[in-house]
Structure formats: C-alpha cells, structure tokens
C-alpha cells in the first residue's frame, strides 16, 4: 500500500512540474482570430490576455457603432474561447500522458 502511495505521489509531482512547464510555454503562444470577414482581428495569449486588436477602417462607421461593437465582442470572445481550448488540449496531454485519471481536474 505504501509503495502505491509513493508512486502516486511521484506521479502527482511529475504532473505538477509538467503542468507548470506547459503553462510557461502557453504564455508565449497565442491564437489569432477574426470577425466580420477579417475586418476585426484579435490575438489572445495562452494566458487569455488580449495581445492585440486590429480594426479595418472600412468597418468604422460613426452611424453604426453597434455593428463595430458586435464585431469586436465576437473577435475577443472567439479569441478567448480558442485560447482556452488550446490550454485544455495541452493540459489534457499532460494528464493523459501520465496515465492518471483524476476526476474534476479539467
């Protein structure tokens, strides 16, 4: 029983180290998404931080500010969603690679 617990603890420590390493790597990765046929582009990091937002001049219409707001929201929300998916995929590789099934971890 003690040997099994020791193995479990080693696996948990190994997983913790790998997860920390992945989090560092993800901080330097990003996703690039667009809305409105490329009129609004958003880049989001693996830490779910908006790194850049580009808006094409053609979409800036003072008489239709709501459309621009909708496009910005769509691009930012899609960027965050894609970033979260990227993080979940990478973290899932770590947990799966260790042969551990820890309910509620992800």
Digit-coded pLDDT (tens) for 70-96: 999 999 999 999 999 998 898 888 776
Give, for all 106 residues of the chain, the pLDDT tens digit: 567 788 888 888 888 888 888 888 888 999 999 999 999 999 999 999 999 999 999 999 999 999 999 999 999 999 999 999 998 898 888 776 555 444 554 4
Q: What is the token pair recorded at 2?
A: 């003690």
Q: What is the token pair recorded at 101?
A: 């099934």
- Give the up-direction half-sphere exposure of residue 34: CA atoms within 13 A in the CB hemisphere: 10
Domains belonging to the chain, first-starting first, are 2-97 (3.30.1310.10)
């Amino acid at each position: 029983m003690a040997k099994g617990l020791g193995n479990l603890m080693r696996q948990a420590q190994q997983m913790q180290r790998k997860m920390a390493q992945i989090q560092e790597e993800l901080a330097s990765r990003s996703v690039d998404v667009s809305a409105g046929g490329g009129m609004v582009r958003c880049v989001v990091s693996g830490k779910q931080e908006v790194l850049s937002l580009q808006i094409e001049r053609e979409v800036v219409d003072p008489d239709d500010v709501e459309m621009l707001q909708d496009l910005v929201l769509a691009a930012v929300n899609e960027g965050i969603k894609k970033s979260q998916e990227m993080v979940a995929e990478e973290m899932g590789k770590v947990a799966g690679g260790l042969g551990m099934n820890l309910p509620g971890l992800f």
